[in-house]
């Protein structure tokens, strides 16, 4: 005998139906885009030399696989993205926590964090090469510059927006500052932290590609730069498509993790 009421069954059924609709429309959008793109290329409505086509992208992808060049470049970019993503997340969470704990420090550092976040990171590229060297370290450092400050700002703003009545209640029970943080602040901000992780995915990818465009001799950013230099648009767009797939997969993992936490 089922323990669920008819209303609850109907509610669960509606959730499943909405999830199916969302998944179908997501699939149809990407398939429709690819079909239209291919048709425009086949009927020469667009210039394939400038815009490529899905079939050309697939052919370029297969060529890279046959030449054993693809997975090495993907692996290097993935390594750089994962390192910068994890380091930026940890640094952002730790600094945001310290700013929440020490209000005076946050007030002192607030304008500097804003200034550093608004600096054009590309302009710092030559300096990074001089300071860190033309290596993978400068690429990761570039990604950290782009992703760390926005992570600090987002998480700290989430910490400061917690309902004050909860904090007052904890203080009435003589809870310490850290007890308030672990029992109220952190649990109240899991959505904020996960949202910051999703943003951090894109920021880390942007930073890594910017770094690879400057100094790398391998990776997807290098393929984009090389393809643009020799006017191989197929190689450029293929690399961009792979980056999109990597970004989606990282977003998918974080989204599944968020759903697990919600349950």
Top-confidence residue, 87 or 124 = 87
> What pLDDT sits at residue 29?
93
176 sits in the region (left: phi over 0; alpha: psi -120 to 50; else beta) called beta
pLDDT above 90: residue 94: yes
Q: CATH for 48-262, among 1.10.580.10, 1.10.630.10, 1.10.3720.10, 3.40.50.2000? A: 1.10.3720.10
Asked if 154 and 199 count as a contact pair (C-beta separation under 8 A), the reply is yes
Residue 221 neighbours by CB under 8 Å, 6+ apart: 77, 208, 209, 210, 211, 212, 213, 239
DSSP string, 156-168: HHHHHTS-HHHHH
Mean pLDDT of 156-175: 87
> What pLDDT sits at residue 4?
62
**Kindly report the CA angle at 128 between 119 and 76, in degrees rounded to 5?**
105
Asked if 212 and 77 count as a contact pair (C-beta separation under 8 A), the reply is yes
Mean pLDDT across the chain: 87
Q: Where are the domains positioned within the chain?
A: 1-46, 48-262
Going from the C-alpha of 203 to that of each of 82, 125, 136, 171, the distances in angstroms are: 12, 16, 17, 37
- For residue 1, name the pLDDT band (cuts at 50, 70, 90): very low
Give the tens place of pLDDT for each residue, 218-233: 888 889 988 888 888 9
> What pLDDT sits at residue 83?
93
Give the tens place of pLDDT for each residue, 29-85: 999 999 999 999 998 888 888 888 899 999 998 888 888 778 888 899 999 999 999
Residue 225 neighbours by CB under 8 Å, 6+ apart: 212, 213
- With tokens 């992208």, the residue in question is 57
> What pLDDT sits at residue 20?
87
DSSP string, 100-166: HH-HHHHHHHHHHHHHHHHS-GGGGHHHHHHHH-SSHHHHHHHHHHHHHHHHHHHHHHHHHTS-HHH
Distance CA 221, CA 246 (A): 13
Say how many C-beta atoms besides its own lie within 10 A of residue 96's C-beta: 25
Residue 157 CA to its chain's centroid (Å) = 19
Mean pLDDT of 100-105: 89
Give the tens place of pLDDT for each residue, 166-212: 888 888 888 888 888 888 888 888 888 888 888 888 888 988 988 88
Residue 214 neighbours by CB under 8 Å, 6+ apart: 125, 128, 129, 138, 139, 142
Distance CA 192, CA 89 (A): 12
């Amino acid at each position: 005998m089922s323990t669920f009421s008819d209303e609850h069954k109907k509610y669960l059924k509606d959730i499943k139906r909405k999830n199916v609709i969302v998944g179908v429309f997501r699939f149809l959008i990407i398939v429709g885009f690819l079909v239209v793109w291919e048709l425009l290329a086949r009927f020469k409505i667009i210039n394939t030399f400038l815009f490529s086509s899905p079939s050309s992208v697939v052919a370029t992808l297969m060529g890279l696989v046959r030449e054993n060049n693809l997975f090495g470049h993907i692996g290097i970019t993935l390594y750089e993205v994962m390192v910068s993503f994890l380091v930026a997340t940890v640094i952002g969470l730790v600094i945001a926590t310290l700013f929440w704990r020490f209000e005076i420090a946050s007030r002192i550092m607030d304008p500097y964090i804003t200034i550093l976040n608004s600096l054009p990171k590309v302009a710092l590229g030559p300096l990074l090469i001089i300071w860190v060297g033309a290596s993978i370290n400068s690429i990761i450092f570039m990604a950290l510059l782009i992703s760390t400050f926005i992570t600090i700002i987002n998480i700290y703003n989430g910490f400061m927006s917690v309902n004050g009545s909860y904090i007052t209640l904890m203080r009435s029970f003589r809870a310490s500052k850290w007890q308030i943080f672990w029992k109220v602040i952190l649990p109240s901000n899991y959505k904020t932290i996960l949202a910051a992780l999703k943003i951090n995915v894109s920021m880390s990818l942007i930073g890594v590609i910017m770094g690879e465009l400057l100094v790398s001799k391998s990776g997807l950013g290098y393929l984009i730069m090389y393809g643009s230099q020799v006017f191989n648009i197929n190689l450029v767009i293929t690399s961009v498509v792979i980056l999109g797939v990597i970004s989606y997969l990282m977003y998918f993992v974080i989204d599944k993790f968020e759903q697990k936490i919600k349950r």
